[in-house]
Amino acid sequence: MARKTKTIVIEDEGRDKNKMFIINEMSASQAENWAMRCFLALARSGVELPDDLAQRGFAGIAILGLKALSQMNFYEAEPFLKDMMDMVSFVPDPAKPSIKRGYGGVGPIIESDIEEVRTRLMLRKEMLGIHVDFSIADIR
């Protein structure tokens, strides 16, 4: 079975309007590595870990990991943020979706591919959503 993907076309007004992105699911080893690093970051940051964390799986760890990110300094959080964006592809011409930059593409995403902060935040949310079934209310 192929990994999940999700195509996103930005509808918000702004410099990214109508741009197309593809969110790609991490491999099992990548997701496990990311979740374990989140878990260890939680332990270092002093976030209280619930007793049922093991039963929550990747979703629980990801949600708690996002909480921990808010308590970390930028240099601790930056690798997690980078890993999330590494799973995003930008499609410069939606008529040619096989030509892309970023994940699985011909080169990395460049600064002008994503010009709005809200686009970056939305892409991160979608990246987590493709791996786990949770809502923003769960994160809060």
pLDDT digits (tens, 9 = 90+) for 25-36: 998 898 888 878
Residue 129 pLDDT more than 50? yes
User: CA–CA separation, 89 vs 128, rounded Å?
Assistant: 15
Yes or no: say if 39 and 33 are a contact pair by the CB < 8 Å rule: no
Q: Which helix (H) or strand (E) holds 39?
A: helix 28-45
Q: How would you class 72 by CB atoms within 10 Å of its CB: exposed for 0-12, middle for 13-18, buried for 19 or more?
A: middle
Taking each helix axis from N to C end, the angle separating 53-69 and 117-131, rounded to the nearest 10 degrees, works out to: 170
Q: Kindly state the average pLDDT of the residues 79-108.
A: 92
